[in-house]
């Protein structure tokens, strides 16, 4: 971080003075690309008269290469990417869509947007989908779609999830908003289901302000998503698209939902792609360093990732054991007083980006996912800006350890 973030006052314990909500500045190449586009007045991805490839078309090509996917469609947000991917995969009004109950509100929103019915599936204390419950809910509901949300980047046993879905005839759409660059057994996350959806919202791995990317191997799904994203009859300007015969098969039958990516967002995103792998490595070090220190407390339980998963964390989660709501609130307040913002998923009202099923008053009636609610009642979350130094990581870990030990009952 740019400013000195550590101060040790003579009268009290050390305070973290950095900003956990900060995003790093964009690379100079992003700023230059944005300026070029603004000077040219060309902020829309399609040109009626053709011309040079748009930034969005190039981003799609480059993101497809990065993830090893065949087709890629850039849109205005990951929430819209999820909606379009579900729609392009054939999900429609009234369909039931399975969704793990630990997720961000836009995932459940994408299903509601479609007029479909979310069917909530439990997560385990390791924050991944509970595969037994997935199988049971699939059977009970007859759902043929799963929106698999890697909330906060946690990856389930993909071999078992995909096998269970194949047996039940379920089409999987992956919500990779927190899992960009993550892999399972060497295969990129986002390439397991019919489509993978990524976010370029400023708080994720890539900062386009807003933005979403759909990656798929399915030519028909890609064609439908391109047309529904609002390509008009200018879809030939896409580069990571299916053959024109496939496009022609669907043109004229797909509604235009106007969910295109702004070319300015694409311009600032492209120079970030080559930096991603290095950033994820640093994020992993930051996460690992803090997590290793937190294991000193017997009140803190860290999710145990499967060794086959290569995670790309941008935040850190832990469960507080044997602490009730008021004790957790006191620990959160003690950390906040020393500059460390801990988000608690158990709060009565949603705060910031946290929410949980009981806050989604639009859901169709269904039994509350009790196991997930019990996990979320203990779940804490800390955002990790990629610019944290090792000293800052140690300070943050120390503050969390103090806050917990001071407020845990003996
Ligand atoms: C951020 C996020 C989304 C939505 O992404 P947007 O680009 O903000 O629409 C969906 N799912 C998860 C898990 C997220 O974290």
- Residue of minimum CA distance from atom 13 in ligand 1: 151
108 lines ligand 1 (CB under 6 A): no
Q: Which of 220, 251, 222 is nearest to 234 (CA)?
A: 251
- Residue of minimum CA distance from atom 14 in ligand 1: 177
Distance 107 CA to ligand 1 centre (A): 7
User: What is the distance between the alpha carbons of residues 163 and 160, in angstroms, rounded to a whole number?
Assistant: 5
User: What is the distance between the alpha carbons of residues 37 and 33, in angstroms, rounded to a whole number?
Assistant: 6
- Residue of minimum CA distance from atom 5 in ligand 1: 78
Averaged over 362-378, what is the pLDDT?
A: 92
- Residue of minimum CA distance from atom 2 in ligand 1: 177
The H helix count followed by the E strand count for the chain is 13, 16
Q: Which two tokens stand for residue 372?
A: 């997930």
Between 286 and 51, the higher pLDDT residue: 286
Residues 291-313: tens digit of each pLDDT:
999 999 999 999 999 999 999 99
Tokens 């199988």 found at: 135
153 lines ligand 1 (CB under 6 A): no
171 lines ligand 1 (CB under 6 A): no
Q: Coil, strand, or helix at residue 317? A: strand
The stretches of 99-153 forming alpha helices (DSSP H) are: 105-113, 131-141
Distance 198 CA to ligand 1 centre (A): 8
At 232, give phi and psi (nearest 5°).
Answer: 50, -145
Distance 6 CA to ligand 1 centre (A): 31
Q: Cα torsion for 384, 380, 111, 349, to the nearest 10°?
A: -120
Contacts 24+ apart (CB under 8 A), 247-256: 247/223, 249/220, 249/223, 250/220, 250/223, 250/224, 251/227, 254/224, 254/227, 254/228, 255/228, 256/227, 256/228, 256/230, 256/231, 256/232
User: What is the distance between the alpha carbons of residues 286 and 268, in angstroms, rounded to a whole number?
Assistant: 25
Q: Is the pLDDT of residue 3 over 60?
A: no
Distance 50 CA to ligand 1 centre (A): 32
103 lines ligand 1 (CB under 6 A): yes
Residues 90-144: tens digit of each pLDDT:
999 999 999 999 999 999 999 999 999 999 999 999 999 999 999 999 999 999 9
| Contacts (Cβ under 8 Å, ≥6 apart) of 225 | 73, 84, 85, 87, 88, 195, 214, 216
- Residue of minimum CA distance from atom 1 in ligand 1: 177
Q: Is the pLDDT of residue 376 over 50?
A: yes
354 lines ligand 1 (CB under 6 A): no
Q: Is the pLDDT of residue 179 over 60?
A: yes
> Is 0.75 surpassed by the pTM of this model?
yes
pLDDT at position 51 = 83
Confidence of residue 12 (pLDDT cuts 50, 70, 90): confident
Confidence of residue 7 (pLDDT cuts 50, 70, 90): low
175 lines ligand 1 (CB under 6 A): yes
User: What is the distance between the alpha carbons of residues 53 and 275, in angstroms, rounded to a whole number?
Assistant: 23
- Strand-pair partners of 198: 213
388 lines ligand 1 (CB under 6 A): no
pLDDT at position 328 = 97
pLDDT at position 2 = 44
Distance 106 CA to ligand 1 centre (A): 6
Distance 82 CA to ligand 1 centre (A): 9
173 lines ligand 1 (CB under 6 A): no
30 lines ligand 1 (CB under 6 A): no
255, 228 contact by CB (below 8 A): yes
């Amino acid at each position: 971080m740019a400013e000195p973030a550590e101060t040790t006052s003579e009268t009290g314990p050390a305070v973290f003075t950095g900003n956990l909500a900060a995003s790093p500045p964009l690379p100079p190449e992003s700023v230059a690309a944005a300026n070029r586009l603004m000077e040219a007045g060309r902020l829309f991805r399609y040109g009626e008269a053709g011309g040079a490839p748009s930034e969005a078309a190039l981003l799609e090509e480059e993101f497809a290469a990065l993830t090893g996917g065949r087709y890629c469609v850039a849109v205005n947000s990951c929430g819209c990417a999820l909606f379009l991917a579900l729609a392009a995969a054939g999900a429609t009004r009234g369909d039931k869509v399975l969704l793990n109950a630990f997720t961000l509100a836009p995932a459940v929103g994408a299903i509601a947007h479609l007029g479909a019915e979310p069917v909530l599936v439990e997560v385990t204390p390791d924050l991944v989908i509970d595969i037994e419950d997935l199988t049971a809910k699939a059977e009970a509901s007859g759902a043929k779609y799963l929106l698999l949300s890697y909330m906060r980047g946690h990856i389930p046993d993909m071999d078992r999830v995909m096998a269970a879905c194949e047996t039940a005839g379920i089409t999987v759409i992956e919500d990779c908003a927190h899992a960009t660059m993550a892999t399972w057994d060497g295969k990129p996350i986002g390439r397991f289901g019919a489509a993978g959806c990524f976010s370029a919202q400023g708080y994720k791995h890539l900062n386009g302000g807003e933005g979403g990317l759909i990656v798929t191997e399915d030519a028909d799904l890609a064609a439908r998503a391109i047309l529904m994203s609002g390509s008009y009859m200018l879809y030939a300007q896409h580069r990571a698209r299916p053959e024109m015969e496939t496009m022609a098969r669907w043109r004229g039958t797909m509604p235009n939902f106007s969910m295109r990516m702004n070319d300015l967002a694409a311009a600032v995103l492209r120079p970030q792609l080559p930096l991603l792998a290095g950033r994820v490595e640093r994020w992993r070090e930051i996460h690992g360093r803090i997590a290793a220190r937190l294991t000193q407390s017997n009140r803190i339980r860290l999710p145990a990732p499967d060794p086959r998963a290569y995670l790309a964390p941008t935040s850190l989660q832990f469960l507080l054991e044997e602490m009730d709501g008021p004790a957790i609130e006191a620990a959160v307040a003690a950390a906040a007083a020393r500059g460390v913002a801990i988000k608690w998923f158990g709060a009565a009202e949603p705060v910031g980006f946290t929410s949980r099923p009981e806050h989604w008053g639009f859901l169709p009636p269904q039994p509350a996912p009790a196991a997930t609610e019990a996990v979320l009642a203990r779940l804490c979350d800390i955002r990790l800006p990629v610019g944290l130094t090792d000293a800052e990581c140690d300070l943050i870990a120390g503050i969390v350890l103090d806050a917990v030990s001071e407020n845990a009952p003996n």
